[in-house]
Structure 1
Amino acid sequence: MVNAQLLSLVPIAILLAGNSRTEGAGEAQPVKKRRYIQAVAFGDSLTWSMRAPYGERYADHIEAELAERLGPDICVDVAACGAGGNTAREALPRVQRDLIDYAPDLVILNLGANDSGREKKEVFERSYRAILERLRTETDALVVCETIPVLDEEWHLYRDRGFARKAGGLNRYLEAFSHSFIRRVAKEHSSLVHDRFSIYHDALREAPSLRSRLIRRDGVHLTEEGNAYFAKTLADLVRDRVLERQRREPANSEEWLGRAEKNATLQRVLAASSSGPALRAALLKNEHVVRLELQQARSHARRAACSNAPDLRTTAARIEALAAAFMATQRMLNPATANAGAGSRKWALERLQGLSDVPGGLRQLLE
């Protein structure tokens, strides 16, 4: 049983309190239960940040910026639920697992870049509305709708497409296809708009060098500096609204821990983790699904770790650390850039610091 396996790996000395970890010998002592914010970044490859190492993804920077603004008494988790290439229509089937099941307080919705080149406008709008409607009826989350910073007129592969020329350029097309709609539908749903397109172009007029610093040469994806830049503008936008809505303690910690322990993908990965080759295969088969389901296990465990029950916190901390390390190891094994691989390895090792009896296969892959 996975519960027995997980519990057998729990080190008595390690505790997790939201975004911080305390290590040391001796018996775990009760601590104050901390309040909790669950955010989900849901979207496409801009949300996924596949070219960045763990620790420098868009979601990582959002989490750090929110934690700084909200203070040490609030646990913050930002689940990175982006899927490369997704249109709104393709993202819609993921809504239950990658949004609703988190019971989120904050949702950051980024879709439209892929739609602009592959979908009809009415299909994009219908699918985007359907996502917002499910969030409205099945959660009480504060929703932030994001625009895309840019489809660079010189760098992006769509630059010579007929639809771009007809519209007078890629960014005019983007405005007509998705951005005007996103601003309008966000207002209809009383959602916030993180207008990265306007933020970027306003800043670019003052500092043209931002182009190469924030945007990769593919003309759409963000650099690590770009992830950090827009995470700051997002955190500034939502801070007060999040504090207004932030009202709950992490109730039902046992339930969230149970969800993490029963996560089927975590079970499969743990079962393979005694062997490096077996673990590699488990992480890379159906890679995107594995990543998203491990993300869910990690976030559920982090929520449970806000409990003031020492044994529960310790167990949840163990699961959170292993799920995080498995995710980062997956990126290390199949990196989009050299920096993504090396940085993710470093991040995985940091997550495992202080844990005893790290699975042998995981140690092998990280050596």
Structure 2
Amino acid sequence: MLRVLSIFGLALLLALPARAGCPASPTPAFALPATGAAVAEGRPLTIIAFGSSSTEGFAASGPAATYPARLQARLREALPGRAITVINRGRGGEDVSEMLPRLGRDVIAAAPTLVIWQVGANAVLRRLPPAAYEAGVGAGLERLRAAGIETLLMDSQESPRLRAMPEDQRRFEAITARLAAAHRVPLFARGALMRLWESQGVPNSAVIGSDGLHHTDLGYDCVAAALADGIAAAVRPVLPAGNVAQAARPG
């Protein structure tokens, strides 16, 4: 699963057994009041992972190694005793224009507590007009808001194929961040997080596979770990007092 690691990167990974090989990183700051309320009230937590191949899990060793499956496992560890389901609604190769037609049937119809919408990489690779991307994602966010569904945006991975188009990559990252701010939804800045991992000595080739675009099993798990940390941190302040210690971050 792992590609060749630098000596420093390997030492860093081995020094972090609590993260099962994932590099240390700051806990994302997500504002998720509706998800927190569901957890506090003891309601089942249903998360839909919506997106393209990074969500579907292209190049993962199996369904259990995709980021949605790993997110479900990590959230169940972080929030024991709660009914948590993560549904994978990723479809490889899609850009926002292809995601929007299935937003109703694949996402809104299921009435999830939270949607994690991964978007942007195919817009870069296909050189989608930035205005069309911005309008499409904005329209999707408005539909989710109107349906009363809390949403978290995830931007593109840091990978060789996207690095080959640096201006487009940064342009679409900036648009995604602007959309998150304008629509008041949290942003999981995956690209920035992966650049941080690399600065800590973890090679991009450890978390991106030989196709230069999709995650390795380690990459999917580390994305899930960071997301789970952020979601758990967002809901813990509203947990009943007796459950706070129990819901401490998994070791």
Provide the TM-score with structure 2 as the length reference. Answer: 0.73
Residue aligning to 1:117: 125
Among 209, 212, 219, the residue aligned to 1:216: 209
Aligned to 1:82: 90
Q: For 1:235-274, list aligned pairs within 5 A.
A: 235-242=228-235
* 1:255-305 alpha-carbon deviations (Å, 9 max, x no partner): xxxxxxxxxxxxxxxxxxxxxxxxxxxxxxxxxxxxxxxxxxxxxxxxxxx
The one-letter amino acid of 2:113's match is D
Name the structure 2 match of 1:200: 194
* Aligned amino acid, residue 231 of structure 1: A
Please report how far the alpha carbon of residue 245 of structure 1 lies from its aligned counterpart in structure 2 after TM superposition.
Answer: 7.8
State the Cα deviation string for residues 127-166 of structure 1 (Å, max 9, x = none).
111110011001232x1111112131xxx2x77xxxxxxx
Q: Does 1:179 align with 2:179?
A: no
Which of 69, 73, 97 is 2:78 aligned to? 69
Distance 1:151 1:170, change over 3 A: farther
Identity %: 28
Unpaired stretches in structure 1, ≥5 consecutive residues: 1-33, 160-168, 248-367
Task: Kindly indicate whether structure 1 or structure 2 has the higher relative contact order, using CA contacts under 8 Å at least 6 residues apart.
Answer: 2
SS at match of 1:42: strand
Q: Deviations over 1:5-41 (max 9, x none)?
A: xxxxxxxxxxxxxxxxxxxxxxxxxxxxx73100000
1:54-99 per-residue CA deviation (whole Å, 9 max, x = no partner) reads 2111110111111111112x11111100111100011000101111
TM-score normalised by structure 1 residue count? 0.51
Alpha-carbon RMSD across the aligned residues, in angstroms, is 2.0
Matches within 5 A, 1:1-367: 35-52=43-60, 53-72=62-81, 74-118=82-126, 119-141=128-150, 143-152=151-160, 156=161, 169-176=164-171, 178-209=172-203, 211-242=204-235
Amino acid at match of 2:187: V
Separation in 1 of the partners of 2:78 and 2:202?
29
Query: Which digits, 9 at most, give the CA deviation of each residue in 1:201-248, with x for residues without a partner?
Result: 011011143x1210012222111110100101111112233456899x
Structure 1 Cα separation of the partners of residues 88 and 71 of structure 2: 10
Q: Which has the higher helix share?
A: 1
Runs of 5+ consecutive residues of structure 2 not aligned to the other structure: 1-41, 241-251
Q: Residues of 1 paired with 2:223 and 2:54: CA distance?
A: 11
Q: When the two structures are aligned, how many residues end up with a matched partner?
A: 197
Residues in 2 aligned to 1:102 and 1:246: alpha-carbon distance in whole angstroms: 25
Q: Secondary structure at the residue paired with 1:35?
A: coil
- DSSP-derived class of the 1:38 partner: strand
Structure with bigger gyration radius? 1
Q: Is the 8 A contact 1:151 1:170 kept in 2?
A: no
